[in-house]
């Protein structure tokens, strides 16, 4: 069964919109775990427009499932992750001005950079994952960096699936097959939802973890957080 990690960035966005502490990010993380989520994901950005660096520190003692911190490994992010020591760090090549992640790493072009970053995290006991597009040469490139896992960037799949194009799963299936053969663990995330998660999971061999935030929070507005988490867990079985 693939683990469900709940990305709580949107809760921080809602909190920050009023300048106070409602909803409380730490309490929400505690609640989603109590409701059955098997991990908590955050993606702090340099401008702290949603998750703040202090949130990452505050969550450390409260996340008793898997704690996943995503981000571009700039100096301040590196320092934060090495201080907090989460279960997993997911490296994402975000530009500072993007609204949300919009591309995977070019693991060939940035091979040496990624090797050095990953080595430092792994020496500190932190599992590493690289955000990648479903391109075979990029999967092979990821293997060469020494990463433990890849995270498949699933926006293209989600968009095509919503249009009725189930063949959009093919590059993800082929990438997963290759990753399995190379001994890489497989995570996935971006625009996965209750509508598409079961089809995706059923077609990705040895999927270990999905990180879902925006859709889960939006669905929870109508269906309730606890109910939505249980629905995801059922579809991921």
Least confident of 26-35, 42-51, 82-91: 42-51
Residue 57 in marked binding region: no
* 3-state class percentages of the chain: helix first, strand second, coil last, to nearest 5: 50, 15, 35
The residues carrying an active-site annotation are 43, 70, 190
- Cβ-contact 145, 121 below 8 angstroms: no
- Cβ-contact 111, 144 below 8 angstroms: yes
Is residue 72 classed as helix, strand or coil in its secondary structure? Answer: coil
pTM: 0.95
Residue 13 in marked binding region: no
Tens-digit pLDDT profile for residues 59-102: 999 999 999 999 999 999 999 999 999 999 999 997 665 555 55
Domains along the sequence of the chain with CATH = 3-236 (3.20.20.70)
Residue 14 in tokens: 């809602």
Residue-level pLDDT at 100: 53
Residue 224 in marked binding region: no
Residue-level pLDDT at 177: 98
Measured distance CA(73)–CA(71) in Å, rounded: 6
Q: Omega into 23 within 30° of 0, i.e. cis?
A: yes
Residue 45 in marked binding region: yes
Residue-level pLDDT at 103: 76
Residue 18 in marked binding region: yes
Tens-digit pLDDT profile for residues 158-198: 999 999 999 999 999 999 999 999 999 999 999 999 999 99
Residue 191 in marked binding region: yes
Residue 65 in marked binding region: no
DSSP state of 54: H
């Amino acid at each position: 069964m693939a683990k469900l990690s709940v990305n709580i960035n949107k809760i921080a966005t809602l909190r920050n919109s009023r300048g106070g502490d409602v909803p409380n990010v730490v309490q929400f993380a505690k609640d989603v775990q109590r409701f059955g989520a098997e991990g908590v994901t955050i993606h702090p950005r340099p401008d702290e427009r949603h998750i703040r660096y202090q949130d990452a520190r505050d969550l450390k003692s409260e996340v008793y499932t898997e704690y996943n911190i995503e981000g571009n490994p700039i100096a301040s992010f590196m320092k934060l992750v090495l201080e907090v020591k989460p279960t997993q760090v997911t490296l994402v090549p975000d530009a500072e001005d993007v609204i949300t992640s919009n591309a995977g790493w070019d693991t060939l072009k940035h091979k040496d950079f990624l090797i050095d970053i990953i080595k430092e995290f792994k020496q500190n006991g932190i599992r590493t994952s690289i955000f990648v597009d479903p391109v075979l040469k990029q999967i092979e490139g990821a293997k060469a960096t020494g990463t433990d896992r890849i995270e498949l960037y699933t926006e293209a799949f989600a968009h095509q699936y919503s249009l009725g194009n189930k063949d959009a799963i093919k590059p993800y299936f082929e990438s997963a097959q290759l990753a399995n053969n190379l001994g890489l663990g497989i995570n996935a995330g971006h625009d996965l939802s209750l509508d598409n998660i079961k089809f995706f999971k059923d077609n990705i061999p040895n999927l270990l973890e999905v990180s879902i935030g925006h859709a889960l929070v939006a669905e929870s507005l109508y269906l309730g957080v606890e109910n939505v988490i249980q629905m995801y867990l059922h579809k991921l079985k």
